[in-house]
């Protein structure tokens, strides 16, 4: 389906009948050059600046069969080779000094593009530039806000709209094609020009893969097949919410009180199972991945008792080891850490404590971590899941066993981290039974990680860092093969006096009831922020939302099975099933839960209604039973406890949906 055609002064490349590249001497599509980058890392945040010393337009193209040799002008030395095949486009630098690459892909009027990994601010990428570099997403993520200004000033951590834990150099177009760049280098997608989309890569990429579909559903299926599909959700997840508590032994008593209040529970998640250390940021975990007997005495017995009652126990792990913990010495003796310029263990400041970086490019180190840490200390100990955190933190100045520059491995690191976790789970025969979740990602993470979470949102309703961003994150990542997404109920980051409100927790809980996994989090400052079990109205509301989630289990099972066989995500942009309706192409604050439920969470403080777009229906309002024809925007009532949810009355699950009215 990929066709290369010679033109009088260049060539064109089509995917089926879609023109993708039009290259000629007057308007070249390909450029190469040289740049010198400055990259500074500060606790997962990056200050990156590039000085491009040379950008050469490749105006001369010599087509030889399916191969094109490109140079600056006729008779000048060749700089780049392009080969076209059914697999896509392959590139080869013919000059060793080249370290920058640009390619322009033809754009059309009114075209929409989506993807770029997990994007938190914009689902439709049109009109903006998106650097693709895994990092902390930032606090506030909006340079016009005070919280972002303060975060930039104090911790270099304010972020911007494009910062994400999970970038991926892949996009989908409303022209029904997909494009993936085969690189782990720093790259960027620029959609600001009306006539073309520009790809920038800080190396010559090995390839660009192209995908086509008769419709967007087919295209999403093809991408999920390429990058990997997750197994169905574990059966135990459908029992209710995973309750996040980090209160030591007192967590069990608090869980019991929540159960008495009617909360449906599938798991108890205690990230502090490894113990705590206290820093200026708040209570931090002790990064040595084994049970802390002082904070959780007799934990194996507690885990067994929970399991007997149908509740799983979950913990926390990341790929770094604190220098003052016992596992550090064991890893250092094995030679499992990344090294510094002197060949010694590289130590990284993670905020008032130092850690070693386990080097997953060393097969022995990856095997040791999978078996010794996750296998023995976690799975054999009785954990049924965990948060696999900090995949985006590989420092760019360390030396790795595989000899590859850390700046080229940085984006690849989340996928290696996911593979280590998946290998450990598979070694115990628990794939599809143990549930672990990551916020960091890159190309190929889909094949290993069974569940994403949206990262560390602020505990507020802000446009670029609050509740609404996790909807965009779920929809964008879902288009690239990540079927399951969820978030911290109530948000995580509380800084500069920004605190949770009862309204925020309740609105977040309402959204979470219509996602694959409900999971709460106490946040980075638990003592300063309202918790689910500290307000009777909040707790009663949350209990009801967990009952909604559990009642919907047959539908979620159906969606999980569908995801495993087709690659369709559980949460879907409206355009995935209504792609001919142009109104749906940029909607990112409401979603389809499967094909039959439409969910429009309230994400602004003080609102008891919101505007909702209903594609051509009919649609039945979940709570009132009123039928609405669809095809237009409506003002939907949404008082607390009754979010704006509509369903297809002809769905085979319609009677199940109607049962929610009685809860």
- Enumerate the active-site residues: 389, 392, 456
Q: How far apart are the first and last CA of the chain?
A: 52
For residue 42, whether the previous peptide bond is cis, meaning omega lies within 30 degrees of 0, is: no
In angstroms, the CA 435 to CA 422 distance is 10
Chain-centroid distance, C-alpha 273: 25
DSSP 271: G
CA–CA gap between residue 356 and residue 501 (Å, rounded): 38
**Can you list the alpha helix ranges (DSSP code H) found in 428-566?**
467-478, 502-512, 536-551, 553-566
Distance CA(114)–CA(463), nearest Å, equals 19
Residue closest to 484 by CA, chosen among 445, 510, 521, 522: 445
Question: Residue 599, SS3?
Answer: strand
> Are the CB atoms for 66 and 4 separated by under 8 Å?
yes
Name the strand (E) or helix (H) holding 255: helix 250-260
Distance CA(617)–CA(599), nearest Å, equals 14
DSSP state of 371: I
Rounded to whole angstroms, the Cα distance separating 119 from 249 reads 37
Q: Where are the beta strands (DSSP E) in 248-317?
A: 265-269, 276-279, 282-285, 312-317
* Region label for 262, one of left (φ > 0), alpha (ψ between -120 and 50) or beta (otherwise): left
Q: Which residues of 124-134 are buried (b: 16+ CB within 10 A; e: fewer)?
A: bbbebebbbbb
Q: Residues 313, 317, 322, 325: is their CA dihedral positive or negative?
A: positive
If you write DSSP's letter for every residue of 139-192 in order, what string do you get? Answer: SS--TTSHHHHHHHHHHS----TT-BS-EEEEEEETTTEEEEEE--S-EEEE--
Integer Cα distance of 506 and 579 in angstroms = 32
Q: Which of helix, strand or coil describes residue 540?
A: helix
Angle, in degrees to the nearest 10, between helices 502-512 and 467-478: 20
Look up residue 301 and give its two tokens.
């017995």
DSSP H/E element including 11 = strand 10-15
Q: What's the CA gap between 112 and 167, in Å, rounded?
A: 19
Whether 93 contacts 30, CB under 8 Å: no
Q: The tokens 């809980």 sit on which residue?
A: 509
CA 456 – CA 611 distance, rounded (Å): 27
- For residue 184, give the nearest of 448, 408, 446, 477 by alpha carbon: 408
Give which of 48, 316, 92 is closest to 208, Cα–Cα: 92
DSSP string, 105-136: EE--TT--EEEEES-SS-SS-TT-EEEE-B--
Rg (CA), the chain: 25
Helix 553-566 / helix 536-551 crossing angle, nearest 10 deg: 60
Q: What is the DSSP letter of 299?
A: H
Distance of CA 95 to the CA centre of its chain: 36
H or E element: which one contains 260? Answer: helix 250-260
């Amino acid at each position: 389906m990929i066709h290369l055609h010679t033109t009088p002064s260049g060539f064109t490349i089509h995917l089926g009948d879609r023109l993708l590249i039009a290259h000629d001497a007057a308007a070249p599509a390909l450029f190469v050059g040289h740049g010198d980058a400055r990259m500074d890392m500060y606790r997962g945040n990056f200050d990156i600046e590039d000085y491009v010393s040379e950008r050469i337009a490749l105006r001369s193209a010599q087509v030889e069969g399916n191969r094109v040799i490109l140079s600056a002008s006729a008779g000048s030395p060749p700089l780049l080779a392009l080969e076209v095949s059914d697999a896509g486009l392959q590139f080869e630098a013919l000059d060793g000094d080249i370290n920058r690459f640009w390619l322009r892909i033809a754009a059309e009027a009114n075209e929409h593009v989506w993807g770029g990994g997990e994007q938190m601010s914009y689902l439709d990428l049109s009109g903006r530039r998106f650097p693709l570099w895994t990092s902390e997403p930032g606090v506030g993520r909006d340079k016009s806000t005070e919280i972002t200004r303060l975060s930039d000033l104090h911790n270099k951590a304010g972020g911007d709209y494009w910062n994400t834990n999970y970038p991926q150099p892949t996009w989908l177009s409303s022209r029904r094609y997909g494009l993936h760049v085969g690189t782990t280098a720093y790259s960027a997608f620029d959609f600001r020009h009306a006539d073309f989309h520009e790809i920038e890569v800080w190396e010559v990429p090995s390839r660009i893969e192209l995908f086509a579909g008769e419709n967007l559903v087919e295209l999403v299926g093809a991408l999920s097949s390429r990058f990997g599909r997750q197994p169905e959700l574990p059966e135990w997840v459908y029992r209710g919410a995973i309750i996040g508590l980090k209160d030591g032994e007192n967590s069990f008593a608090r869980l019991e009180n929540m159960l008495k209040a009617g909360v449906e529970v599938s798991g108890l998640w205690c990230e502090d199972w490894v113990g705590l250390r206290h820093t200026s940021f708040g209570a931090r975990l002790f990064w040595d991945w084994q049970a802390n007997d002082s904070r959780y005495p007799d934990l194996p017995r507690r885990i067994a008792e929970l399991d007997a009652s149908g509740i799983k126990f979950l913990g926390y792990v990341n790929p770094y080891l604190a220098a003052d913990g016992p596992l550090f010495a064991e890893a250092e003796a094995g030679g499992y850490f990344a090294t510094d310029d002197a060949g010694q263990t590289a130590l990284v400041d993670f905020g008032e404590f130092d850690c070693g970086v386990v080097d997953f490019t060393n097969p022995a180190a990856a095997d040791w971590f999978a078996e010794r840490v996750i296998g023995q200390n976690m799975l054999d100990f009785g954990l049924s899941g965990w948060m696999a955190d900090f995949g985006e933190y590989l420092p760019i100045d360390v030396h790795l066993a595989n000899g590859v520059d850390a700046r080229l491995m940085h984006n690849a690191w989340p996928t290696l981290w996911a593979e280590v976790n998946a290998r450990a789970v598979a070694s115990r025969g628990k794939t599809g039974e143990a549930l672990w979740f990551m916020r960091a990602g890159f190309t190929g993470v889909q094949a290993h990680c069974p569940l994403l979470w949206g990262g560390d949102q602020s505990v507020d309703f802000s446009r670029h860092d609050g509740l609404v961003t996790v909807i965009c994150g779920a929809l964008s990542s879902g288009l690239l093969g990540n079927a399951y997404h969820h978030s911290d109920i109530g948000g995580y980051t509380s800084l500069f006096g920004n605190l949770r409100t009862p309204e925020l927790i309740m609105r977040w809980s309402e959204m979470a009831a219509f996602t694959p996994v409900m999971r709460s989090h106490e946040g980075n400052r638990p003592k300063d922020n309202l918790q689910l079990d500290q307000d009777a109205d909040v707790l009663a509301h949350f209990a009801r939302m967990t009952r909604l989630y559990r009642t919907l289990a047959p539908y979620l099972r159906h969606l999980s099975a569908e995801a495993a066989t087709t690659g369709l995500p559980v949460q879907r942009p409206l355009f995935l099933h209504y792609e001919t309706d142009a109104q749906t192409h940029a909607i990112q604050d409401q979603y389809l839960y499967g094909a039959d439920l439409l969910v429009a969470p309230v994400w602004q403080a003080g609102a008891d209604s919101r505007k909702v777009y209903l594609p051509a229906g009919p649609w039945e309002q979940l709570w009132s039973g009123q039928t609405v024809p669809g095809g237009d925007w409506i003002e939907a009532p949404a008082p607390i406890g009754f979010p704006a949810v509509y369903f297809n009355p002809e769905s085979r699950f319609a009677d199940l949906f109607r049962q929610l009215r009685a809860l």
